[in-house]
Amino acid sequence: MDGRYSRQTLFSPIGEKGQAKIRSKHVLLMGAGALGSANAEFLTRAGIGKLTIVDRDYVEASNLQRQQLYTEKDVREKLPKAEAAKMHCHDINGEVEIEAVIVDGTALTLEPLLSGVSLIIDATDNFETRMVINDLSQKHKIPWIYGACVGSVGMSFTIIPGVTPCLNCLLRSIPIQGMTCDTGGIISPAVQMVVAHQNAEALKILVEDYESVRPGFSTFDLWRNQYQTMKVGKAKKSDCLSCGEAPTYPFLTLENATKTTVLCGRDTVQVRPPNPRKLQLDKLGSDLLASGYTVKSNPFLLSIETDDERMVIFHDGRALIHGTKDMAHAKALYQRILG
DSSP one-letter string for 204-251:
HHHTT-GGGS--SEEEEETTTTEEEEE--GGG--TT-TTTSSS---GG
Binning the chain into helix, strand and coil, the percentages to the nearest 5 are: 35, 20, 40
Residues 74 and 222 in one domain: yes
Q: Tell me what percent of the residues of the chain surpass a pLDDT of 90.
A: 66
Within a domain: residue 88? yes
Last residue of a domain, one of 195, 230, 255: 255
User: Which residues, 6 or more positions from 233, have their beta carbon under 8 angstroms from its beta carbon?
Assistant: 164, 165, 215
What is the per-residue pLDDT for 275? 67
Answer whether residue 1 is part of any domain. Answer: no
| Higher-confidence position of 161 and 264 | 161
The predicted pLDDT at position 265 comes to: 66
Q: At what angle do helices 15-23 and 188-206 cross, to 10 degrees?
A: 100
Phi, psi of 115 (to 5 degrees): -60, 120
Residue 139 placed within a domain? yes
pLDDT at 69: 94
The reported pTM is 0.84
> Are 131 and 159 in contact, with CB atoms under 8 Å apart?
no
Are 238 and 280 found together in one domain? no
User: What is the pLDDT at residue 128?
Assistant: 80
Q: Using the 3D structure, point to which of 236, 255, 274 is the last residue of a domain.
A: 255
The per-residue pLDDT for 338 is 81
Can you tell me the distance from the alpha carbon of 81 to that of 27, in angstroms, rounded to the nearest whole number? 17
Same structural domain, 250 and 266: no
Residues 38 and 58 in one domain: yes
Average pLDDT over every residue of 62-87: 94
State yes or no: pLDDT of 179 exceeds 60.
no
Residues 177 and 292 grouped into a single domain: no
Residues 33-63: tens digit of each pLDDT: 999 999 999 999 999 999 999 998 899 998 9
Q: State whether 182 and 279 are in the same domain.
A: no
Residue 198 sits in the same domain as residue 98? yes
The residue type found at 97 is E
- For residues 333 and 204, state if they share a domain: no
Q: Residue 243 CB: number of other CB atoms within 10 A?
A: 25
Average pLDDT value for residue range 81-88:
97
CATH number at residue 274: 3.30.310.10
- Phi-psi sector, 313: left (phi>0), alpha (psi -120 to 50), beta: beta
61 and 201, same domain (yes or no):
yes
Number of domains, the chain = 2
**Does residue 215 sit within a domain?**
yes
Mean pLDDT, residues 111-130 taken together:
92
* pLDDT band of 183, cuts 50, 70, 90: very low
Same domain, 287 and 247: no
- Residue 299: give the domain boundaries: 259-338
Predicted pLDDT of residue 168: 94
- Checking if the pLDDT of 176 tops 60, the result is no
Output the CA–CA distances (angstroms, integers) from residue 268 to 63, 273, 324, 325, 331, in the order listed. Answer: 15, 17, 5, 6, 12
pLDDT at 224 over 50: yes
Longest Cα separation, the chain: 64
Domain boundary at 255, 278, 303, which?
255
Most confidently modeled range among 148-162, 168-182, 245-259, 277-291: 148-162
Using CA atoms, how far apart are residues 49 and 98, in angstroms rounded to an integer?
Answer: 9
* 50 or 176, higher pLDDT: 50
Q: Which CATH number does the domain housing residue 56 bear? A: 3.40.50.720
Residue 4 DSSP code:
T
